Chain A
Amino acid sequence: MVMSENAAGLLSIGVLVAALALIHAPLGDYIARVVTARSHSRVERALYRAGGVHPDAEQSPRAYALSVLGFAAAGIAVLMALQIGQGLLPLDRDLPGVPFWMAFNTAVSFVTNTNWQPYAGESTMGFAVQMTGLAVQNFVSAAVGIAVAIALIRGFTRERHGSLGNFWVDVVRITVRVLLPLAFLAALVLLAGGVVQTFTDTAFTGLSGHRQVLTGGPVASQEAIKQLGTNGGGFFNANSAHPFENPTGFTNLFQIFLLLLIPVALTRTLGSLLGDRRHGYAVLGAMTILWAVSLAVTTWAEVAGHSQVARAAGAAMEGKEARFGEWVSALFAVGTTGTSTGAVNASHDSLTPAGGGAVLVNMMLGEIAPGGVGSGVYGILIMAILTVFVAGLMVGRTPELLGKKIGARQMTYVALYLLATPVLVLTGTAAAIARDSTLDALGNPGGHGFSEVLYAYASAANNNGSAFGGLTVTSDFFQITLAGAMLLGRLIPIVLVLLLAGSLARQGRVPSTAGTLPTHTPLFAGMLVGVIVIMTGLTYVPALALGPIAEALA
């Protein structure tokens, strides 16, 4: 007996949630132990010696931020060199060097954990670039995000302290002790599930009698970290819709699990490090509400197929993989946009207007449902500060979060953080849409075409990396402005978060009393959701009205 689509869809969601519920706690606690451990392993010592780092020396917020910036700059330079000069590398599959601005865009994209891909993987990047360049950044850009989140948490846990830890130690430990072992295990599971791992192509004669060459590659190993690190950059152009990247329903669900795993686990890490597990749960609760509502809207839109074309065809299946169906495509789309992953197993351009709008809003929320690795936690903590600032006054105290006062200095950092991404998304979209040449790059006219542009800048500035599709982004204008959006959308918030963390760490702690606004209750989680939704809505509704809203209501 074949299970109905709806039952299978619900079962998939149930299995996913159960698996995350089971694993996030031990993993989160493990990450907390890793970042607080005192000893260094032999491998780590060797790395510190090689890099000239004193692993037990702590860094000031300024030094920590400069390390992040320096590391990013170096990463971009190396990645660009690898791409442009890939002809000189082994395993280049005779591919030419990547053009300058595309190389720049791609380098920025992978360093910023965005993994926006203006190129087709199989026909642009050789194995060497994929393995030594892109995959390396998949690990370390994820580690940077987690390190920054940990630094912010230290801001809350430390008292009258001038430093935030050591960036190099944090990145090395997270990579060596967390990401590498997890990615290794995940790759094995993916291999077992049928994802390819090879250096050769497969040639065969198809049913039509034509000879075809199917590009292979070391896919499974890349695929694991692509999802685990909420990177999303596909080995192949079709990303997780490609049967070599994502062959079966099992690998599909497993990939969704992987991309949600660390963001969810980090809420546990937050609770553990704060010694306030319930605050971690409140944060996770808020994330879950946003995720669940988004999933409900998207699934409803896709399954009910609210567009005329879809109704005519019997289902909204255009642009989606028949292997996965509407339910799981919606689940994947919501997971990948809610986590800043940006991997796709369906064309988001082909989602129904409401579904496409929902995943777009997911990114506009600021990637916090549950967000990218690290960036989800620091993003939602920023929103939590905003929440206590507005609502906290209503209990008759000057605002505080987790025992730290939110004064003018803290509010300045938060205010700039809140400004950064909307400015990039809206000015980018406005600048692009005002150009005549953009009209030729659009895949569709009218509201849908507008959505394509808005989606591109929302994806870049929020470091998601998924593409709506349709829009041709290979012009220098798009390469440069989107790279700018990715770079600024990543680094400005990180620098502000680190400065904020520093100002929090320097403070003493205000003890919690009955007069303190509790930040571990369902009421707080609800307020947090309300503030996030209202802030996002107020910022983006005018733009959304001209795209997805107008389309969805038609």
Chain B
Amino acid sequence: MTTTSPSPTAPTTQEAGPGGVSGRLILAQTVEQLPAALRKLNPRHLWRSPVMFLVWLGSAATTIAALAQPSLFTAAIAVWLWLTVVFGNLAEAVAEGRGKAQAATLRAARTDTPARRLGPDGGETSVAAAELARDDLVVVEAGEVIPGDGDVVDGVASVDESAITGESAPVIREAGGDRSAVTGGTRVLSDRIVVRITAAAGETFLDRMIGLVEGASRRRTPNEIALSILLTSLTLVFLIAVATLAPMADYSGAPQDVVVLIALLVCLIPTTIGALLSAIGIAGMDRLVRVNVLAMSGRAVEAAGDVSTLLLDKTGTITFGNRQAVRLLPATGIEESRLIDAARTASLADQTPEGRSVVELTERLGAPATPAADETRFVEFTAQTRMSGADLPDGTQVRKGAGTAVSTWLGAPLPDEIAQLVEEVSRSGGTPLVIAVRQTDDASATGVALGVIHLKDVVKPGTRERFGQLRAMGIRTVMVTGDNAVTARAIAEEAGVDDVLAEATPEDKMTYIRREQEGGHLVAMTGDGTNDAPALAAADVGVAMNTGTAAAKEAGNMVDLDSDPTKLIDIVEIGKQLLITRGALTTFSIANDIAKYFAIIPAMFVAAYPSLDRINVMGLATPQSAILSAVIFNALVIIALIPVALRGVRFRAASATSILRRNLAVFGLGGVVVPFAGIKLLDLIVSSIPGIG
């Protein structure tokens, strides 16, 4: 029931791997979004980005100049300046467009089915879902769509949440406890529940999700604001450098046309990053959506990049969540095959994961995979006996259970040797189960403890390596578990975490988070229960599981629709990738200016100072072709970098120094070198145009 394909409404990844996007798709989206980009030419839209607004003003001024004194050069500059603005808009439109498509599928889930509201007298009235208020009680039965977010107050039902999560396997929702939250827009598959509405219409989870993926509720993040301040001040520096250049050029006997000055200004101001900045932010949120994580704010994504302490739940994140049999330890004088046989017999009917793992282990150790003999009577685990096992037709009773339970059953203390084995297994963090046999027809005969099964929390493969990578990135991992300190420490050792929070209560988590934060660390954690809510709210990145309670989802700043606690690590990487992309493109944008100077400065002043031709290192054909080539390059580089902005710079877990080295080489050095080649190439083409070359 978990193998059907994702529902068509699911915001899952249908492209190049998790969170990835193929180049061809971006190209298609780019073409598709052209009309949207043109609509954004309205200067009111550009006011938010001073850099692009200045380009808009420059384009307008150049257009007026081109109309007043038509020339091919001026017209070409005007066209390419407008294209610069369009390309910038395009980047944003493409990024937003991807969200819009997802929002449309989500909207489809927001049907207007009438809700069955329960009156105080128990009578039902049919009202529109939009009219529901907080604390209204509604009845939902099999086949009906849940009209709004709420908590189940009565009943238990299986619910198809694929509209939200893309996961087609139904989940159980029941009154009370941590599985009581239901989401509006999801469908009840079986049974009948009564739901108390917790969110008014328009404020439901689905509404928020739509707002988030559409980017409608997008606010600029703190780092984006800081970067904008820097970009604005750089823009001002260049504005002044170019404005003051006019009188200086006049003095030097090389008066400059205003079109040339505008071209120089647009080439110098950081248009590349200015154009791509908001697309990078939207794409970062989008990458999270693609791994089925919803960030309630861009701020949270940014914080994820800064996280230096990860609180990870042991169960499900670090271990598989079930203890499994890993070893059989026979007592002296007991043949191993006898123990294997007994362990298998005692566990054949045990359908718990532990029991099944014992059977699997015995088969791995060579026991034949035969069913139990016919008249075998299985003894189920009860809270009184705390043992399970089987009574064989020949009168042999086999039991497995905790040491104390088995000792009571045997009516004698366990032999020293067995007690020692039990102790050993416990100390290593495992759970010991003692296997014993007894003959019923011989009442006087005491039973025999054959040996011990070593049950163990099995750490997921690759965990150690993953945590090693996190450590290299400067992130401490803390395992949170309800286990006792001994067990916890043993697993922590095996998984390679940096710290353990054993026998953890929600208060302990809270204290730990506060302590870390006081030391200046940023903390990320996952949680699902209502009692996790305060810690989720306190954490810098609090990821609530979608299966969790409404309180938990409200408190966190992200929701993981798959309810997979290992996502935390992906989230951190996506946060880092977002910041890296921003920094890399800023560096690239600024580094580009060097080549533009080499193109434009000699072009402007070679008439007055022929010696300046010596810095025309690219050998550009004419002053006009040089300036036009620089302007065209400046515009085209925006288009060329849209895929980088949307996909993000490739990220691999490594130390800050080695990440920096790599990105500096690619985007710093590349940013210096690439435009030299690009402008030269464009000049070869442009200079062949009559009237410019």
Contact between B230 and A389, CB atoms less than 8 A apart: yes
B-contact 0/1 string along A369-406, CB 8 Å cutoff: 00000000000000000100111111111110001001
Say yes or no for A418: interface residue by CB 8 A criterion.
yes
Cβ of B646 to closest chain A Cβ, rounded Å: 18
Residues B660 and A523 in contact, CB atoms below 8 Å apart: yes
**A411-B230, A538-B597 given as contacts; is B590 within 8 A of A390 (CB)?**
yes
CB-based contact B305/A396 at 8 Å: yes
B615 and A396 contacting across the interface, CB-CB below 8 Å: no
A396: B residues at CB distance < 8 A: 305, 473, 575-577, 579-580, 651, 656, 659
Beta-carbon contacts under 8 Å, A431-459 to B: 431, 433-434, 446-447, 450
Q: Does A120 lie at the interface of the complex (its beta carbon under 8 Å from any beta carbon of B)?
A: no
Interface residues on A, range: 35 or more
**Residue pair A389, B611 in contact (C-beta under 8 Å):** no
Given contacts A415-B232, A523-B660, A534-B590, contact A450 B248 (CB under 8 A): yes
22 example contacts (A-B, Cβ-Cβ < 8 A) are as follows: A386-B230, A389-B226, A389-B227, A397-B306, A398-B223, A408-B222, A411-B229, A415-B232, A418-B233, A422-B241, A426-B240, A450-B248, A511-B519, A513-B474, A540-B241, A546-B249, A546-B251, A546-B608, A550-B612, A553-B614, A553-B615, A554-B609
How far is it, in angstroms, between the C-alpha of A447 and the C-alpha of B229 when the chains are bound? 35
In the complex, the chain B residue whose C-beta lies closest to that of A430 is: B244
B660 touches A514 (CB 8 A): no
Please give, as numbers and ranges, the residues of chain A lying within 8 Å of B237 by CB-CB distance: 418-419, 422-423, 538-539
Q: Which of A389, A422, A515 contacts B240 (CB 8 A)?
A: A422
A538 to B235, CA, bound (A): 11
**CB neighbours of B471 from chain A (8 A):** 514
Given A511-B519, A545-B612, A549-B612: A394 and B664 interface contact (C-beta under 8 Å): yes
B245 with A543: CB separation less than 8 A: yes
Asked whether A542 lies within 8 Å of B223 as measured between CB atoms, the reply is: no
Q: Say whether A407 faces chain B, with CB atoms less than 8 Å apart.
A: yes
Q: From A518, which residue of chain B is reached at the shortest CB distance?
A: B657
Smallest CB separation, A474 vs chain B (Å): 21
- A60 adjacent to chain B (CB < 8 Å): no
Q: Name the residue of chain A whose CB is nearest to the CB of B254.
A: A546
Q: Which of B130-138, B405-413, B581-589 contacts A (4 or more CB under 8 A)?
A: B581-589
Beta-carbon contact of A426 and B580 below 8 Å: no
A-B contact count (CB 8 A): 215
Chain B contact residues, CB within 8 Å of chain A: 222-223, 225-227, 229-230, 232-233, 236-238, 240-252, 254, 264, 268, 302, 305-306, 308, 471-476, 518-521, 575-577, 579-580, 582-584, 586-587, 590-591, 593-594, 597, 601, 605, 608-609, 611-612, 614-615, 651, 655-657, 659-661, 663-664, 667-668
Which of chain B's residues has its CB closest to A406's CB? B226
Q: Which residue of chain B has its CB nearest to the CB of A513?
A: B474
Interface secondary structure of B, over-half rule = helix
- The reply to whether A542 and B660 form a contact with Cβ atoms under 8 Å apart is no
Chain A residue contacts of B236, Cβ below 8 A: 419
**Cross-chain contact of A394 among B250, B518, B580, B597 (Cβ < 8 A):** B580
Q: Which of B472, B579, B593, B605 is within 8 Å of A398, CB to CB?
A: B579
A345-373 residues at the B interface, CB under 8 angstroms:
none
Residues of chain B within 8 A of A540, CB atoms compared: 241
Which of A408, A418, A516 gathers the greatest number of chain B CB atoms within 10 Å? A408
Shortest beta-carbon distance from B121 to chain A in Å: 56
Q: Are B241 and A539 in contact (CB under 8 A)?
A: yes
Interface centre among A396, A431, A550, by most chain B C-beta atoms within 10 angstroms, is A396
| Interchain CB contact under 8 A, A513 and B663 | no
How far, in whole Å, are A386 and B651 apart by their CA atoms in the complex? Answer: 23
Task: Write out the residue numbers on chain A whose beta carbons fall within 8 Å of the beta carbon of B251.
Answer: 433-434, 450, 546
A319: Cβ under 8 A from any B Cβ: no
A393 in contact with B475 given A447-B252, A539-B237 (CB within 8 Å): no
* 9 residue pairs, one from A and one from B, having the closest CB atoms: A393-B583, A515-B474, A396-B576, A513-B474, A415-B233, A430-B244, A514-B474, A550-B609, A553-B611
Residues in B neighbouring A481, C-beta threshold 8 A? none
**Contact A510/B520 with A391-B660, A396-B651, A530-B668 known, Cβ cut-off 8 Å:** yes
- Could you say which residues of chain A place their CB within 8 Å of the CB of B227? 389, 393, 411
Using A541-B601, A549-B615 as known contacts, say yes or no to A412 and B520 having CB atoms under 8 A apart: no
Most buried by B among A392, A397, A434, A554: A397
Contact B656–A517 (Cβ < 8 Å): yes
Q: A403-B520, A408-B222 are in contact. Are A534 and B591 (CB under 8 A)?
A: yes
Specify which chain A residues have a CB less than 8 angstroms from the CB of B474 in the assembled complex: 513-516
> A398 — which chain B residues lie within 8 A by C-beta?
222-223, 302, 305-306, 579
By the criterion CB–CB under 8 Å, are B609 and A546 in contact?
yes
A516-B656 contact, Cβ under 8 Å, with A426-B241, A426-B244, A427-B240: yes
Whole-angstrom CA separation of A530 from B587 in the bound complex: 11
Contact between B230 and A415, CB atoms less than 8 A apart: yes
Q: How far is the CA of A447 from the CA of B521 in the complex (A)?
A: 56
Asked whether A515 lies within 8 Å of B473 as measured between CB atoms, the reply is: yes
